Amino acid sequence: EKLPLILTELYGIVFRLGGTISGEHGIGSKRAAYMPIVMSSELISLQKRIKGLFDPLNILNPRKIFP
Q: How many domains does the chain have?
A: 1
Residue 33 lies in domain:
3-54
60 located within any domain: no
Judge whether 44 and 26 are in contact, CB under 8 Å. Answer: no
45: pLDDT confidence band, cut at 50, 70 and 90?
very high
Give, for 11, the enclosing helix (H) or strand (E): helix 3-16
- The whole-angstrom separation of Cα 43 and Cα 59 is 22
Judge whether 44 and 36 are in contact, CB under 8 Å. Answer: yes
User: pLDDT exceeding 90 applies to what percent of the chain?
Assistant: 49
**pLDDT of 53 strictly over 80:** yes
62 located within any domain: no
Mean pLDDT computed over 8-30: 84
50 located within any domain: yes
